[in-house]
Each structure stands twice: as structure tokens, then as C-alpha cells.
Chain A
Amino acid sequence: MRRYTVEVNGKAYVIDIEELTSDRFNVRLGDQRYEVRLRGSEDVAGAQITPEVLPLHVEGEAASEGSAITPVMASQHRPPAPESMPTLPMSRRPGLPPQSNIPGADFRQEIAAPMPGTIVTIHVSPGDLVKRGQTVLVLEAMKMKNAIKAPHDAIVSTVPVQAGQSVGYGHVLVTFQQPN
């Protein structure tokens, strides 16, 4: 377990992060506990940490929300509640039901590069309807051509890369819309 003590506006907060597996972490913030999944990790100074929250074991007051944990690191300058136990101000998304109840909650809006490489060919263009498992583009990494396939049926909204372009890990390759 790793304990971070961060100071926001002169007030100290304690964040405990316990590594469950390589990409799952237990994050404890005061009396709130989140199980989060790490989508990417880069050693870049000043990078924003945006873990993906799984709606599995959310305890504490945020339980009814299952909200994204992103704002923890973002600049929330609301004055903290006047308690003796410092709790980080959490952003609220009123009215947002738990993620698992949203139809198509598993829908992934984008494909990010799974590893650094070069785009060889692009097989789709915006507006195309793709099926699950259909190759959308080919990424060459370590001299091996890798077919990147659609995770589900979707409509391609944008393809923000070009053939021949080098991409780093996590670079967005294709974005999707839900088909109706």
C-alpha cells in the first residue's frame, strides 16, 4: 500500500492506494473507498491521472453515484467541508445513475494504441459501420503488424491518425458512436 499526502489550498489530504493487481487499485480517501482500474500509466511530469472507476465495490457516500474519480486530481477548488477529518472535495454528478445501469455502459468510445508503434494502414473512415472484430487499422510495433479490431459493433466517428504516423501508448486511434 502506498500513502500519498497531498496538500490542496493549504489543507492536507491522505490518499491510500493499495495495489490489488497490476491494473486494479483500492483507493481510500477518508471514509470513502473506490476500486479503480488503471487504464494507462506514464512517467510524464505533470500528466493527469484518469483511472477508470469500476462500479464494483464503491462504499461510503459516493456509493450511489459510481462517479468518475477523475476530479480527485483535477482542480477542484471548492472549500473543503469543515470537518476535522480532511476529505477531498469530490465532484458530484447529480442524477447520474450507477454506471452499470446505463444501457450500453460497456460501450467504448475509442480505441487507444495498446503499445507504441506506427500506423500502417487505416481500413475505416468516419461514418462507417463496423462489426465487432472487424479490423479498423493496422499498427506496426516492433516490426510486427498488428490488426487493431473493433471491440463491438459501432459507427466510426473520427479517425484522428494517418497512415505512417507514429503513435505512443494510449494515443487515440479511432472514436466511435453507438449505432442506433
Chain B
Amino acid sequence: MDPTTITPLVQGIVSITPGAALMIAVGGLLIYLAIAREYEPMLLLPIGAGAILANLPLSPLVGPDGLLNILYQAGVGNELFPLLIFVGIGAMTDFGPLLENPKMLLLGAAGQFGIFGTLLLALLLGFDVNEAASIGIIGAIDGPTSIYVSSRLAPHLLGPIAVAAYSYMSLVPVIQPPIMRLLTTKGERHIRMQYTQRTISRRTRVSFPILVTIIVGVLVPMATPLIGMLMLGNLMREAGVVDRLTKTSSNEIANVVTLFLGLAIGSTMQAEAFLQLDTLAILALGIGAFALDTAAGLLFAKLLNLFSRVKINPLIGAAGISAFPMAARVAQKVALEEDFENFLLMHAMGANTAGQIASVIAGGVVLALLTR
């Protein structure tokens, strides 16, 4: 038989590179984590599938007119998808616990320390400023914010950063508790916090998203897209007159965009770009960012206790990150291990939603410092 007839038939097999094969395995691992371990399956499954589809030999999906490429151009390259997801998150989030106890904003701010700590570490490891900032943003423990920031500052690192942000988000219950136990005393974990039920008026609930958008938008213009979309979703939820929009944002739009976003992120995980020493460094720095956030939150809560007569349980300091609602649940779980009657969930939820707002602002601050 003429070899020219056979070549096109076996071009798939002969085009497999070891790198691509390894990336297919990585995609498989993500899918395994999603299915068997249920680590953020909504995201890791599409990301894993995207990685496999993009690394199959000569994959038309990543060609100029390929589906994955179109998705990337349509929503990741221009940051559209993360912003649409924020509308959904806003529509799902109840800021009530934060409004009941606005002091929690301080803990949310402390929970962002990991971003800046990690940024410095990454600079020391030789990443350039934009890359370091994108890696630091993993410390926001917020997938959409990480994607938004890194797609503007360091698009070539998008794959590893998204994978780190999302897989660590699902590892909150594994990573946080040891740090929490290490940095607090038994007595501190036993602190009970009075739950004061305050009825938050509808006017307050409706004004909150509008005021936050305007204040944050004026102070940190770079954060306007993120906070604006988050608060738009929340405004629709609290307004109570656009139920259909709220439901669509938090279900249909969020789900569709999550699928597209996952596939597009997965497609950035091509062998040449992903199989670098940098990727390992990013994964390691990401976990460091996370640990720093947790430690900073705990220590800051302890610091507040030095000045305040109303003691707060430092465990809720660890909830001042964006991973919602896992971080608050972890704080509650650790507290219950010590004292089964210590319910601090509502306080932890307050700190947690504060962490969501603070991480968005931190993302805006980083962008403001680095884009010109």
C-alpha cells in the first residue's frame, strides 16, 4: 500500500507527544477528583474534560474555529465569564449575617493577607510582577476573581492558577483545621459568641448592594466590574421584584457559564504551557497563600480580642476568606468539636461574606496597582 494513503489515517497516533499524553492524564486526574472525591465537581469536571479535549493530537477544538478556542475568546480572554458568574454568586448570597454584625468586615480584610504575602514570595522566586500578582490572587480563594485578575495580568498562567484556586477551594476542610488548632488555644476555641438577632430592614438590605457598589467603585475603580456584578445579583435578590431574573442568574446563567468557563480554562492547559516548573511553583505558592490567609485571619481575630471587651472566637477569623460557605462551616465544625453547644455559624457566615467582598476589592486593588 502507498504510504501516502496510510499517513493521514494514522496521523493521530503519530502526533501524540509525551507532554500531551501527560496532560491527558492530568485531565483524567481532575475528572477523578471531581467524580470520586467531589472536589468542586461543577468546575473540575469541565476543566478536566477541556484539558483532555485540548491535548488530543491535532485537536480541531483548539484550532482557530474550534469550540474551545471560541469559548476562550468569547468569555475568558475578555473576562466576560467570571463577571457573569459573579451576578449569580450575588444572587445566591445572603449578606444578612454580615449586616447583623458589620465588624466582621475587619476579619474579611484580614483574610486577604495571603494575597500580598504570596505576591512577595512569588517575586522572590523570580516571577515577574504581573505573574506574582496573579499567583497571589489565589490567596483570595475565589475562583472567578483569580481568573479575572490573571486573565488580565498573566493569561499564560491561567490554567495552573485556575486549577490551584478551584482545587484548594475544595480543600478548605482539609487545609484549614490543622492551622486553626495550631494557632488557637483550647480556651479561645471555647469562646461563645452571643448571637444577637437583629432584624435587618428591607431598606437596608436593598441599599447595601447599591452603596457598596458606589463606594467601592469610587475608591477602587478597577474593582467596579467585579463588585458591580456581585452586587447587581444581590440587589436583584433583595429587591424581591425580579424573582425570575434572580433565579435565572443563580441557576441557568451561572450553570451555563460555569460549563463554558471550565471548558475554556481546561483548554489553556496545553502541554507546552502547563508542563513547566512554574506550574509546580504556582501550586505550592497557592497552598501557601491559603495557609497565610487562614493564619492572618486567626491572628487578627486574636488581636481584636486584645482591644475589645466583647471577645470573639478566633476560629471565625479563619472564615474571613472568600470560599463560601465552606470556610464558615469549617469554623463551625472545629468549634463544635470542642463544645457541641457552641454555635457560631452566623458569625462565621458574616466573616465569610465579608471575605467575599474583601477578596473582590483586593483583586481590584492588585489590578489598580499593576495595570496602567
- A interface with B by C-beta (< 8 Å): 19-23, 38, 40-44, 114-116, 133, 141-144, 146-147, 149, 151, 168-170
- Of B10-18, B107-115, B190-198, B260-268, the segment with at least 4 beta carbons within 8 Å of chain A is B190-198
Sample of 29 A–B contacts (CB below 8 Å): A21-B310, A22-B310, A22-B311, A23-B194, A40-B197, A41-B194, A41-B196, A41-B197, A42-B199, A43-B197, A44-B199, A114-B195, A114-B341, A114-B343, A115-B195, A116-B197, A133-B340, A141-B345, A142-B97, A142-B349, A143-B325, A144-B328, A144-B329, A147-B336, A149-B341, A151-B341, A169-B195, A169-B197, A170-B197
B residues near A22, Cβ cutoff 8 Å: 193-194, 196, 310-311
| A42 contacts B340, C-beta separation under 8 Å | no
A residues near B196, Cβ cutoff 8 Å: 22, 41
Interface centre among B94, B329, B340 (most CB of A within 10 A): B340
Does B224 lie at the interface of the complex (its beta carbon under 8 Å from any beta carbon of A)? no
Query: Known contacts A41-B197, A114-B195, A116-B197; is A21 also within 8 Å of B345 by CB?
Result: no
| A146 contacts B343, C-beta separation under 8 Å | yes
| A142 contacts B309, C-beta separation under 8 Å | no
A residues near B311, Cβ cutoff 8 Å: 21-22
| B195 contacts A144, C-beta separation under 8 Å | no
Q: Which of A23, A142, A147, A168 contacts B340 (CB 8 A)?
A: A147
Chain A proximity of B123: nearest CB distance (Å):
38
Q: Which of B309, B336, B345 contacts A115 (CB 8 A)?
A: B345
* Interface size in chain B (residues, C-beta < 8 A): 23
B residues near A141, Cβ cutoff 8 Å: 345-346
Apart from the given pairs A43-B199, A142-B325, 15 other A-B contacts in the complex at a CB distance below 8 Å: A21-B310, A23-B194, A38-B194, A41-B197, A114-B195, A115-B195, A115-B343, A141-B345, A142-B94, A142-B349, A144-B325, A144-B329, A146-B343, A168-B197, A170-B197
Of chain B, the residue at the smallest CB distance from A143 is B325
A residues near B197, Cβ cutoff 8 Å: 40-43, 116, 168-170
How does the 8 Å CB contact mask read for B41-84 relative to A, with 1 for contact and 0 for none? 00000000000000000000000000000000000000000000
A42 to B194: give the CA distance in the assembly, Å: 12
Does B151 lie at the interface of the complex (its beta carbon under 8 Å from any beta carbon of A)? no
How does the 8 Å CB contact mask read for B185-215 relative to A, with 1 for contact and 0 for none? 0000000011111110000000000000000
B residues near A115, Cβ cutoff 8 Å: 195, 343, 345-346
A133 to B337: give the CA distance in the assembly, Å: 11
A41 to B199: give the CA distance in the assembly, Å: 11
B residues near A44, Cβ cutoff 8 Å: 199
| B340 contacts A149, C-beta separation under 8 Å | yes
Q: Which of A116, A144, A168 contacts B332 (CB 8 A)?
A: A144
